[in-house]
Amino acid sequence: MNVDHENTELGTVAPAHESPGEMLKRAREAKKLSHIDVAKQLKLRVQWILDIENDHYTDASALIYVRGYLRAYARVVSVSPDEVMSVFDLMKFEEPFVARKAQLLPREEQFVMHQPVLSYTKSNSNKGLGKKIWGWIILIIVLLALTLAIMWWRSEHNLQNASRAGASPQVALPTAPQTSLR
């Protein structure tokens, strides 16, 4: 058995044809981390860590999750994520995901899948228009209510002044005696 060796970031010797899971497992053991330690740091179940180390990726719902987990695991154990991903790509682990996706899509959608996506959303300029209209309506209602309140207060104030003026006794002022000069 002929095994080539190369150096990794940890300084340990690794076989050239090592799988991503084996690379990560060896690095984890070199750092003296348990499966539980790695699972806690990645916020994953321990079973996921075991599956990654055994290169068992078929339980993942999408390839993007597997790639993300591999990169995150590589960072935790101080291995180059690019190195792990290049080995992952060389070993063609993504093929089952591509095949599964092709089976799930109807024949017509497989061809549409590679065409550019067109946006059918409304333009951003119309999004704020509704808020502006409601803002003006509320402002008008508040001003109208304020105007009515002031008018009511003034009418009440005027009525009170008028009733006070009508209820107060009028005092007759003495008139000056009329004297005639003739």
Radius of gyration in angstroms for the set of CA atoms belonging to the chain, rounded to a whole number: 42
**What's the pLDDT at 23?**
94
Greater confidence (58 vs 75) lies with 75
For the stretch 68-126, pLDDT in tens is: 999 999 999 999 999 999 998 888 777 777 777 766 666 555 555 555 555 555 555 56
- How far, in Å, CA of 27 to CA of 160, rounded? 91
CA-nearest of 67, 71, 77, 66 to 26 is: 77
**What's the pLDDT at 12?**
43
Sorted by sequence, the CB contacts under 8 Å of residue 4 that are 6+ apart come out as: 15, 16, 17
Greater confidence (27 vs 175) lies with 27
Q: What is the DSSP letter of 5?
A: E
**What's the pLDDT at 8?**
43
User: What residue spans of the chain are helical by DSSP H?
Assistant: 20-30, 35-42, 46-53, 63-76, 81-90, 95-104, 107-112, 127-167
- What's the predicted TM-score (pTM) here? 0.49
For the stretch 135-171, pLDDT in tens is: 999 999 999 999 999 999 988 888 777 777 665 555 5
**What's the pLDDT at 161?**
75
Which CATH code fits 5-112?
A: 1.10.260.40
Please state the domain extents for the chain.
5-112
**51: pLDDT strictly greater than 80:** yes
